Structure 1
């Protein structure tokens, strides 16, 4: 039988070593790949199509907020991702699961909890922390989280570049497409997210760069004259 391949992504050496030890204790024959930066994680995931699990810390160089989780879910939808984080706010845990995580393990959890969670996920299930029994998340936020998770990889790249204030011509240069293609992506993003203005999408994307459960509801955008849902088409 082929050995299970697990990617452990955490920039703290001691905690990463503890996770690796825990994985090998549960799966003695597993191949464990370690990364400490988000760009290395993306490269490793792309080069390891047989990986069966990623243990992901939300905070590492090259990642902000929920961006790393969303990138992985967009690029490798079949690869289970378990967030292992110092955040213990039930609302943040709920948000991570809504964005497609297969589990959320607080870093304060003991080995039995980690083993239970990993076993559940490797069997194809979802592991839900007990703290979520007390989580209260607005239904509209959960629906918007699912819409965000439905963006294609290229749409998500454009979406996150809106958070950084990139203009269409800058986005086109970065992702090697025409400005007309960027406009088409922006139109599709607005429609998928139920938004009207580019400014609304930019504000929403900025909230994803914070590892907190800020509301995903955005106010009406100002009339910035660029890329609303009526005129964004090429």
Structure 2
């Protein structure tokens, strides 16, 4: 995670680790530190990067970063909310572009969606509070909400079955029902919706 504003960087790191306790988050304050950290140790599965640094613009470094880390999710979290800029960054092979002005729960949800395999460009807030359950969530049973909670923690059907003392087959049925009820096609999409609505708090 890289941002030259330490308060924002530390705050976002804490948010990420709140929802992904197992995450190991390295922090950088400059583009140079990003490249140094990226080249040291095991390959990171996600980069969460600001676009503008005091020492320069990250955009010029994106092609090299993508070539060197073809399987790593690259997410830009920036105060820039210009659609042309965001689209250009996405076309440079970033996986996500998220505006810093979004509510914290929506930033985390967008990051979760990218980590789950979705491409996300979000410049404006949805306007929904973190704890507001939409009609699709209201229609879920308690068992289905339990499944959704475990989905948001990235558990497999087998792991969900063990947690809830049900068979993996039954877990798979519940997962299918949850995806259909939420109007999403992927587990990552369901997890992102759960985070945005505060289900996993």
Task: Give the structure-1-normalised TM-score.
Answer: 0.50
Name the CA shift for 1:26/1:93 in 2 (closer, same or farther; >3 Å).
Answer: same
**Unaligned stretches of 5+ in structure 2?**
125-201
How does 1:1-234 map onto structure 2 within 5 Å?
Answer: 8-64=1-57, 66-129=59-122
Give, in whole Å, the separation in 2 of the partners of 1:15 and 1:22: 10
Which structure would you say has the larger Rg? 1
Q: Cα RMSD over matched residues?
A: 1.7
Check conservation: 2:51, 2:76, Cα contact below 8 A: yes
Q: Deviations over 1:125-165 (max 9, x none)?
A: 2112266xxxxxxxxxxxxxxxxxxxxxxxxxxxxxxxxxx
**Unaligned stretches of 5+ in structure 1?**
1-7, 132-234
Task: Give the structure-2-normalised TM-score.
Answer: 0.57
Identify the residue that residue 171 of structure 2 maps to in structure 1.
Answer: none
Instruction: Tell me the SS of whatever aligns to 1:81.
Output: strand
Which ranges of 4 or more aligned residues in structure 1 deviate by more than 3 Å? none
CA displacement at 1:69 relative to structure 2: 2.3
Instruction: Tell me the SS of whatever aligns to 1:105.
Output: strand
